[in-house]
Amino acid sequence: MKLKRLLLVFIVFVGVSNVKAQEEKRFKIHTVAFYNLENLFDTINDPLKFDEASPMMELNANRSEIYKKKIKNMARVIANIGSDMSNNAPAVVGVCEIENRAVLEDLVNDPLLLAKDYGIIHFEGPDRRSIDVALLYQKALFKPLDSSSHELIIYDDLSRKRVYTRDQLLVSGELDGDLIHLIVNHWPSRSGGEARSRSKRVGAAKLNKRIIDSIQSKDPYAKILTMGDLNDDPTNSSVKDVLKAKKDKKEVGLKGIYNPFEKMFTEKGYGTTAYRDAWSLFDQILMTKPLIEDDYSSFRFWKAGIYNKAYLTNKRGRYEGYPFRSFADGGFTDGFSDHFPVYVYLIKEVQE
């Protein structure tokens, strides 16, 4: 394969008069990514939020310098996701664990991202930790047409009290001319244990399914990507039973959902975050059937990946091989995040 600008060249074999010949096809390629930014908080105590419990606010000194370093580290990662093939930063990237719009503005204005001219879509949410989801998009590649925030209303199984958690963000727009719908998620954590907290993520999956169903009721052939830190693996009931995501393309029906990350988890043992020497693949990007069809006259899914370059991993000690997180033991590690980013490539044939 040869990469030139943003065109990816595939060599394919076609039959011509019973003789096999080579035919070059050129494809535009764009990266769609998701990244948990691990507590990207500013250094200002907001009296209307519970941000004083954030790792940034718990630091006793050098908050300003540490914040600048955290921003630069996040920008470095985003600038590189998918660039091996696209020769560009992601066209769109969903993010979570961000405090407010201000930290996103600092992020997209970092010198490593400034030339990409990223726009921001963000709504303040009700999460008790004051963390939100958002979408960043290169203005030259993606044109937002509509955006909305969808509140997740769930209750604790034991106390029956309302659990205030992250909204789900829906953005519809044109990716280089193609209409696409993007949902950014950060489902409830496993605090209290997987079993006790399971119903909260099932509730999040049900909300996600309602959003997808509402889009498909208007257009069964809608191209939808739902992405996020689901705090569940591809094999958990929220993904398999509620979203009914399939690991094989051939099993996906007209309004079905394909999960390219399930086989990475079940067959290869890959993960995006680790705990007690076990990998979980909580960060995923799922898609509807129109994105996995074979007609490349419009953008279709090509391949998925976990961005886990060596610089994002711990090099030594008890947590060797784990994601190199930003905060640990009450201090800043000069790391990145406790999650690896994930991405998918979308390609479209270029007609000569």
Q: Which helix (H) or strand (E) holds 84?
A: helix 83-86
In a domain, 121, yes or no: yes
Amino acid 23: pLDDT: 60
HEC profile of 69-82? HHHHHHHHHHHHCC
SS3 292: helix
Amino acid 13: pLDDT: 32
In a domain, 124, yes or no: yes
In a domain, 203, yes or no: yes
In a domain, 208, yes or no: yes
Spans of the chain below 70 pLDDT:
1-23, 352
Containing structural domain, residue 128 = 31-345
CA distance 346 to 348: 7
Q: How many CA atoms lie within 13 A of 176 on its CB side?
A: 19
In a domain, 94, yes or no: yes
Amino acid 7: pLDDT: 44
Enter the tokens of residue 319: 């947590």
In a domain, 25, yes or no: no
CA distance 209 to 229: 16
Q: What is the CATH number of the domain that holds 221?
A: 3.60.10.10
Amino acid 11: pLDDT: 37
Query: How many distinct structural domains can be found in the chain?
Result: 1
Amino acid 326: pLDDT: 96
In a domain, 17, yes or no: no
* DSSP states of 27-83: EEEEEEEEEEEEEE--SS--TTS-GGGSHHHH--S-HHHHHHHHHHHHHHHHHHTTH
In a domain, 331, yes or no: yes
Amino acid 46: pLDDT: 83
